[in-house]
Structure 1
Amino acid sequence: MTIADILMLIAVICIWSLLLVNVVLIIAGYLYYIESEDRPVPEIEGEAPFVSIMVPAHNEGKVIIKTVESLLALDYPHERYEIIVINDNSSDNSRELLGQLQSRYVGRNLTVINTDAVTGGKGKSNALNIGFQQSKGELIAIYDADNTPEKKALRYLVGEIMHDKTLGAVIGKFRTRNRDTNLLTRFINIETLSFQWMAQAGRWKLFKLCTIPGTNFIMRREIVERIGGWDVKAIAEDTEISFRIYMMGYRIKFQPKAVTWEQEPQTLKVWFKQRTRWAKGNIYVIVKNVPLLFDRSATNIRFDILYFLSIYFLLLTSLIMSDILLILHALGYVHTTIAGFSTFLWVLAITLFVTGTFITLITEKGEMRLSNLWIILLMYISYCQMWMVVAAYGLYTYGKDVIFKREAKWYKTERF
């Protein structure tokens, strides 16, 4: 067996191991969705707890009005929640628009904090810390500035967290508001449903683990106080705070009935910048938490550490190595006797990908369309391959930041 054969075999084993893990998560997630359909969300008993909803916003004039109005219209006692918008060093007309909203909704608990280049402009974590200082709620909810949550979203999140004292946070899910704009947004819609939320559901079903997304979640105030706020060095502040909640002994639950709709990137340039930030931010969290693999008190979260470690390091390396070997084999520079077998496995992987992804879509109304079959197939050979570039570039830029001791910059997603 040649060195090329050994490297190809290692890559194939790694890729297929992670593929099978994903299949298991999809099956478990699908079962959890079916169970959730028949299980009612816990009702809020007695007086509803006071909730502080925080909305960090930087140059969000295009979307902020719709977001705040949807939050004001939530099916939750109006006197039992406040909305705090952190208008973070914006250079657009956000300040004027938010001022007009406050004038229209006098008497509602709507607070606008306008920061400048001195107090703000340092990213989402810093903005959330500023907002938290003025918040009063025993529960803290976070929504991004491009969100339109469904009316019962907050009630569902509160009902879950108040029903179980072991929960430190409860997450809902976000759907793609502009999914039909172009091919990219359709890819993102399928990715969100099939990988982000089905994986979340599967991890909760099997391990009682979930990772906080950047929006549509609620957490206990005491958690933020105990951990000293959000890590301003983390540009993936949601993943970072999830691990700190784990280490406090709390669990994070996924409630799929709590839904918000958000705007996704509509151009490759905006998508690439956003996903690179996600990749770099998650790599920071992984590196920060790798020592927990050897910490006995972190036994219950080792799967998540290994899961993220495998996705951003093992899978990325294996995919790049296998692609390079197949190209070199085709060009005649190296010889590998299992190239043909690898091709068979590649075809089988595509079949599993398309089938599994399509099955996950049937959990959502309006997504059971035959047109999604060719979209998924096209997604595998294009969108999924772009993920490798994003992850590799995220790893590269993270390495540069570490080597040159540069402060990570928080890229704000452009709105449309």
Structure 2
Amino acid sequence: MIEMKETKGSPIQSPIRRIPESLDFSDHRHSENQQPSAIGSSKKYSYSSEWLSPHFSESLPGTPSASRPSTPTSNSYGNGFISRSQQSLATLLGSTRQTASPLKESSPSATVIHLNDRDDVDIWKGWKRHLFRLIPVLAFGNSALYIAYLALRIYCVIAAQKTYNSIYAGAWVFISIELAIAIPSQMHNFWTMWALKSRNRPKLRLIGNDVPAVDVFVTCCGEEDQVVLDTVRAACDLDYPYDRYRVIVLDDGQSANLKSAVNELATMQPNLLYMAREKFPGVPHHFKAGNLNYGLDQVHLLPGGAGEFMAALDADMIPEREWLRATVAHLAIDPKMALVCPPQLFYNTPKSDPLAQSLNFFVHVIEPIKDALGVAWCTGSGYVARREALDDIGNFPLGSLAEDVATSTMMLGKGWKTGYIHEPLQYGTVPEDFGGHLKQRTRWAIGTIQTAIKLNFCLWGSSVKKMTLAQRFSGGLYATLGMTTVFVTASLLAIPVVLLWGKPLIAYSSAEQLRWLIRACFASTIFGRICEFVLFIPAGYHSGQRDFRYQIWMSPYLALCIVRAFLLPTWLGGQAVAFKPTGSLGSALNERDPALKKNMLRRLWAILFNFMAGFHFLYVYVTLVAVVLTSYRCFFADFDTKQIIVCLITHAFWPPLTFLFICTSLWTPVSYAIDPPIMPDREELLIRDHKTGVAHPKPKSKKIGFGGQAAMFELQHSAATIYTCLVFAYSFWL
């Protein structure tokens, strides 16, 4: 039962946390009467925990122990399952550390305050928000203009074939290429039209000490110890009552050094534990999903049992101090809310973000629209989930490389809600090498498609029977978008062939038709540019442009992995894995480290051959040679000046210079190998408290700097737009 009250100026009490007297946390604590930083009036909700079963806990060392019954309460969380045996923890706890803190019983109610009607009020506001409201109209207009332009192209080809009694194969192939490249953007356009539905996710905070119990899992598998420990220290330093949450390191890499470091830290943090499951040869361990499920099972054996909620952090994701108070608040006021997730943000993204490693377009544009439609995805880190909902779907689903997407999708299929909290509540690191980036993104793509296939693309089946129409559409759309990379790659291969062929790309039966084709192309291109500018506002204009280029140059990698995972039999090389480099690199390239990076020849060799960017290199050069040869034919044919210009426009330089956009996009891995971005040492990106060891990213490192590559791409983009305008103007003299 949720009772909603409205108050103003209600003070926030700082959580009381048991910490060793030898550590000075004074600079991290709020004053006891600190006021909420609300904008306008603040609403107050009374959160009743009556659906929680009674909690049985033990006190911290040095305090009297609470009495505990001898049998566990079935299906009870938050005040949870009782420890079945202290001896079962012997293998998990170091002999020199204190017993982990049990979760203390919560009081009948906790308080949630309403800080603002919008959770993203601090991210973007003012004229940008007002302009973004036009997106549904602009997206509809953009799609309508493109369809009209495409229909005119097809009509003119048919008319030319009838007039000249000839087949214009080159024109048909060019239409197919443009359509294949446009499909992803048009699908995004169709999706963004749904932004017409307003998103009403308020900014909330859970205050006081009577709050739900949370088990915080930090999942890791072979990451650097210092990276994991920074996440662990920040997780232990949350602004949340110390006896209402536990931090549990789930180490799938079974690192002895990490275990020792965590156990040492646990002597000062009684709510910290280290766990590592045993893996058996030949027995599937199901990667991250198996690791999380292991943690879900083990917390039942801890003092106090399992918390009502579980939260998960990736090994490199440093949470902000208000992370739990911001996220749990949304779960507390709605018992049908199964999972909430904040955006994944990063603090080590290099200038210009040449590989499009930030997720800014997805987290600032796509996810808020999905949330408005009730289709918020779990994005892998920083999320908080209700244990009852996890039980309902049988814990984290196995058999997918994207267990996070599968989890939230199955929750929606069971009739639960998921939410997206558009606040900067965690910051992590992007892969610092080209190979790591490829492996990460191909794993995401394969996992999304695996999930869609297992759930029948969210169209039918018991697992999705309670989904709404919007939820079913979203579930199928993003898997389909991944699969379109196969068609995009195939269409890319046709471009240099058509150009070398020397056939006209544009067919028409009269000068009047050519004029209208140019004008329709101009209208579609310019309107598309306007739509892009407005659509990219929340993420930043350059972030959106990088994302579009990324879809082109990443397509061959994604297509290769998708074909191997879903089309090829095992005996032909089929396997459901992420991208793997060919051969052996011998040692890391360290391309972003000014002191350790390999020389340019080594980088080029590795990226062109081991990472298969040789395809990109050959494609660009063959395409440019084809453009030169096609243009040569126009200049040396028996044409006058007007005919030469028309020949160039219709054979290679049709606006908005699609070949140029494709070539500059596909050149990305090559330019990265030649001149990779330089990044400072990770420690230089952080502000560290030397007393506690807790580190958080510097404000500057949270932003993506504008660099030379971004300027170069913008120059190319602007030149193509100006060229389109000039051709449009020339159409009046044809």
Q: TM-score band, normalised by the shorter chain?
A: 0.7 to 0.9
Q: How many residues align?
A: 394
Aligned-pair distance for 1:276? 1.2
Aligned-pair distance for 1:72? 0.7
Aligned-pair distance for 1:141? 0.7
Aligned residue for 1:63? 227
Inter-partner Cα distance in structure 2 for 1:406 and 1:331: 33
Within 5 Å, which residues of 2 pair with 1:169-208? 169-179=339-349, 181=350, 183-184=352-353, 187-189=356-358, 192-205=359-372, 207-208=373-374
Aligned residue for 2:217? 54
- Please state if 1:273 is matched with 2:439: yes
Within 5 Å, which residues of 2 pair with 1:6-405? 6=172, 8-9=174-175, 12-13=178-179, 16=182, 18-23=184-189, 39-41=202-204, 43=206, 47-60=210-223, 61-91=225-255, 93-105=257-269, 108-118=270-280, 122-135=286-299, 136-179=306-349, 181=350, 183-184=352-353, 187-189=356-358, 192-205=359-372, 207-257=373-423, 259-290=425-456, 292-294=458-460, 297-300=466-469, 301-314=471-484, 316-332=485-501, 336-337=505-506, 351=529, 355-356=533-534, 358-361=536-539, 373=542, 377=545, 380-381=548-549, 383-399=550-566, 403=570
More contact order relative to length (CA 8 Å, sep ≥ 6)? 1
Cα deviation, 1:293-337, whole Å, max 9, x if unaligned, reads: 1456444322112311331123x2443344233322211176543
Cα distance change, pair 113–349 in 1 and its aligned pair in 2 (3 A): farther
Aligned-pair distance for 1:130? 0.7
User: Which 5+ residue runs of structure 1 have no aligned equivalent?
Assistant: 363-371
Aligned-pair distance for 1:153? 1.2
Larger radius of gyration: 2
Aligned residue for 1:365? none
Aligned-pair distance for 1:198? 1.6
Cα distance change, pair 396–248 in 1 and its aligned pair in 2 (3 A): same
Inter-partner Cα distance in structure 1 for 2:317 and 2:476: 31
Contact map agreement 2:364 2:538 (CA 8 A) in 1: no
Contact map agreement 1:350 1:380 (CA 8 A) in 2: no
Inter-partner Cα distance in structure 1 for 2:187 and 2:574: 36
Contact map agreement 1:148 1:261 (CA 8 A) in 2: yes
Inter-partner Cα distance in structure 1 for 2:330 and 2:577: 35
Cα deviation, 1:316-360, whole Å, max 9, x if unaligned, reads: 244334423332221117654369979869965983586246412
User: Which 5+ residue runs of structure 2 have no aligned equivalent?
Assistant: 1-157, 159-167, 300-305, 509-516, 581-587, 591-681, 683-734
Inter-partner Cα distance in structure 2 for 1:307 and 1:345: 28
Aligned-pair distance for 1:114? 2.3
Inter-partner Cα distance in structure 1 for 2:574 and 2:547: 35
Secondary structure at 1:219 match in 2: strand
Contact map agreement 1:30 1:201 (CA 8 A) in 2: no
**Normalized against structure 2, the TM-score is what?**
0.48
Secondary structure at 1:173 match in 2: coil
Cα deviation, 1:177-207, whole Å, max 9, x if unaligned, reads: 112x455478323xx11124420101122x2
Cα deviation, 1:377-413, whole Å, max 9, x if unaligned, reads: 56644x332321232133023126864698855899x
Aligned-pair distance for 1:19? 2.3
Inter-partner Cα distance in structure 2 for 1:359 and 1:403: 45
Cα deviation, 1:195-236, whole Å, max 9, x if unaligned, reads: 24420101122x211111110111110122222222232111
Contact map agreement 1:51 1:139 (CA 8 A) in 2: yes
Cα distance change, pair 222–7 in 1 and its aligned pair in 2 (3 A): farther
Cα deviation, 1:85-118, whole Å, max 9, x if unaligned, reads: 111133462222212211232xx22111123443
**Normalized against structure 1, the TM-score is what?**
0.81
Contact map agreement 1:65 1:101 (CA 8 A) in 2: no
Cα distance change, pair 409–184 in 1 and its aligned pair in 2 (3 A): same
Structure holding more helix per residue = 1
